[in-house]
Amino acid sequence: MTGLHVAIIMDGNGRWARSQGKPRWRGHVEGVESVRRIVRAAPDLGVSVLTLYAFSADNWKRPRMEVGRLFWLLKRYCVSERNELISRGVRVTAIGRRDRIPTPALHALQQLERETASGTKLHLRLAIDYSARAEVARATRELGQRVRAGELAPEQMTEELLTQAVTGGVPMPDLLIRTAGERRLSDFLLWELAYTELYFAQTHWPDFRRDDLATALADFRARERRFGGIVEEEEREWAVGA
C-alpha cells in the first residue's frame, strides 16, 4: 500500500452544535457523517493511511452521558459501516487502551477489525482512549522488560527500535490536520509527528468535506519537505561560498 499517511484531530463537534442551537451530542452525530465522507474520499486523493483522533484519554473527564453517547456512536459506526468498509477495501484498526472501552463498543470494534483485516485500499486507524505519552511509556516498558529478560542488551535500545514499538511499523504521518481553528497537538502522536507537516483548518469537523481535505492536501503538496536538510540549490550556494 503506497500513498500518504494523514492524521486528523477531529475538533469542533460541540461548538458546531452550539452554533446550530443543538445539544452537543448532535455535533458528535454529524461528526460521524464527516468520518464517513472523509473515509470515502481519502483513497481517491492519494491517502493510504488515515489516523483519526476519536477519543482521547482526557475525554473521560467529560460528562458521563456524553462519554456514553460517544461509545454508543462508536458501536453504531462499527456495525452500520461494516459492509461499505469491506466493499471499499478499508482495513480498520484501533490504537490506544482497550481495557476501559465499554464491552458492547469493544466487541463491535474487534469484530470490525477482524472482518476488514484484508482491506488494501485504505488503512483506517481509530485512536480511542489514546494518549501519545502513555503509548511511549508503554513501548518503553515493553523494551525494558525485554532487557530484564535478557532478550535485549541496553545498548540495543535504539531510536529505531523504540519507533517500531510505538508505531507497530505504520509509516510516520505526512500531514496532520486539526479542524476548528485550534493550534495544539493535544497528546496525539507526539513521537510520530517530529517531521509531519501541520495544517490547521478553521472549519468545524461536522462541516469538513472532501473539498476541505483536498485543499489541505494541495497545501501539503506545495510545501518543500527538508527533514532537517537543505535542498540541492542551497548546497550549490554553500559550495560556491566555500
Q: Which amino acid is at 52?
A: L
Strands ordered across the beta sheet of 47-56: 90-95, 122-130, 47-56, 4-9, 175-178, 197-200
Q: Annotated catalytic residue: which of 11, 129, 174, 212?
A: 11
Is there a contact between 140 and 121 (Cβ–Cβ < 8 Å)? Answer: no
Residue 188 is given by DSSP the state S
Q: Annotated catalytic residue: which of 13, 58, 59, 83?
A: 59
Q: Verify whether residue 59 is a known catalytic residue.
A: yes
Largest CA distance in the chain: 67
H or E segment at 100? none
Q: Which amino acid is at 223?
A: R
Q: Can you state the percent helix, strand and coil of the chain, rounding each to 5?
A: 50, 15, 35
Q: Verify whether residue 207 is a known catalytic residue.
A: no
Is there a contact between 97 and 129 (Cβ–Cβ < 8 Å)? Answer: yes
Is there a contact between 101 and 109 (Cβ–Cβ < 8 Å)? Answer: yes
* Nearest CA-CA partner of 208 in 74, 1, 21, 40: 40
Active site residues: 11, 59
